[in-house]
């Protein structure tokens, strides 16, 4: 019943026009022909002429209405595309900023700390840990949390546009959470070492392994963010430029930020 009402409401003008075309000639026939005010032949000639004008006007009206509907569709598509491109630009800018920050943080964990572990004795490293690195570790944890919040806020500000990419967003959130947990765990672990006078070989190795895990998690997070950005770019700009960027295969080896920096330093030498 509701569907019938919606159909009648949407096509009311058509029914009204049909009713006028049907009722008017019948009324005129009984009014003029039956009272012999006009011959039947002349009546039908006038009716056909009138019907022709009505049909022509109806066709023109339908054409105008169709053009209006098409223009609305085109206008809506243009608005949607503009909003999509604006969202892509904003999110992509945020992704670039986060990836840059992750590269710096990854270099700290995967290169600087490990280098200090390699070149310093346990007592000397412990002294640096107590004076500098414990505070830096906490700053890194806070910075990562702020990056996650920034990412979340940016996505939410364009949520209606990006809702179809929720699966990719969830993957990035999972990697963010993993990285945050690792950095938070490292902060707690190094705080426990603060009271020690020296570090054992196992503790040295544990610090190194934790640093490598954090660096790898940052690299994985950076890849997830990059994949998200590529997907947005392909969906929102691929149709315009008639091309798409292929994503790196999951099986391809991905170097960590620390490995990239280490190789760069070797090349400079």
User: What pLDDT score was predicted for residue 253?
Assistant: 45
- Summarised one tens digit per residue, pLDDT across range 69-106 is 889 889 988 998 899 889 999 999 999 999 999 999 99
Region 116-126: mean pLDDT is 76
- Summarised one tens digit per residue, pLDDT across range 221-257 is 999 999 999 999 898 888 778 888 887 665 544 555 5
Phi, then psi, of 169 in degrees rounded to 5: -60, -40
State the number of CA atoms in the 13 A half-sphere of 109 facing the CB.
33
Q: What is the pTM of this model?
A: 0.71
Nearest residue to 175 (alpha-carbon basis) of 137, 208, 216: 216
Distance of alpha carbon 15 from alpha carbon 179, whole angstroms: 65
User: What pLDDT score was predicted for residue 176?
Assistant: 96
Q: b or e along 195-228 (b: 16 or more beta carbons within 10 Å of the residue's beta carbon)?
A: eeeebeeebbeebeebbbbbbbbbbbbbbbbebb
pLDDT at residue 16 tops 60? yes
Distance of alpha carbon 152 from alpha carbon 149, whole angstroms: 5
Q: How many residues comprise the chain? A: 269
256 neighbors 216 (Cβ within 8 angstroms): yes
């Amino acid at each position: 019943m509701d569907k019938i009402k919606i159909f009648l409401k949407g096509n009311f003008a058509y029914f009204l026009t049909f009713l006028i075309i049907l009722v008017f000639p019948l009324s005129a026939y009984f009014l003029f022909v039956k009272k012999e005010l006009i011959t039947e032949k002349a009546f039908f000639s006038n009716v056909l002429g009138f019907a022709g004008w009505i049909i022509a006007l109806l066709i023109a009206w339908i054409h105008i209405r169709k053009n209006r509907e098409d223009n609305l569709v085109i206008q809506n598509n243009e608005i949607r595309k503009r909003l999509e491109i604006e969202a892509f630009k904003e999110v992509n800018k945020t992704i670039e900023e986060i990836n840059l920050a992750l590269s710096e943080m990854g270099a700290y964990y995967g290169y600087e700390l490990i280098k200090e572990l390699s070149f310093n004795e346990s007592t000397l490293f412990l002294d640096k840990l107590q004076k500098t690195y414990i505070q830096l570790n906490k700053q890194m944890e806070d910075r990562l949390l702020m990056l996650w919040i920034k990412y979340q806020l940016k996505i939410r500000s364009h949520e209606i546009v990006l809702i179809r990419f929720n699966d990719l967003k969830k993957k990035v959130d999972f990697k963010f959470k993993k990285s945050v947990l690792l950095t938070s765990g490292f902060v707690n672990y190094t705080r426990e070492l603060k009271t020690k006078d020296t570090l054992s070989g196992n503790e040295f190795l544990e610090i190194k392994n934790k640093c490598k895990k954090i660096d790898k998690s940052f690299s994985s997070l950076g890849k997830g963010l990059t994949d998200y950005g590529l997907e947005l770019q392909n969906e929102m700009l691929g149709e315009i430029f008639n091309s798409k960027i292929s994503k790196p295969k999951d099986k391809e080896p991905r170097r960590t930020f620390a490995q990239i920096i280490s190789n760069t330093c070797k090349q400079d030498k």
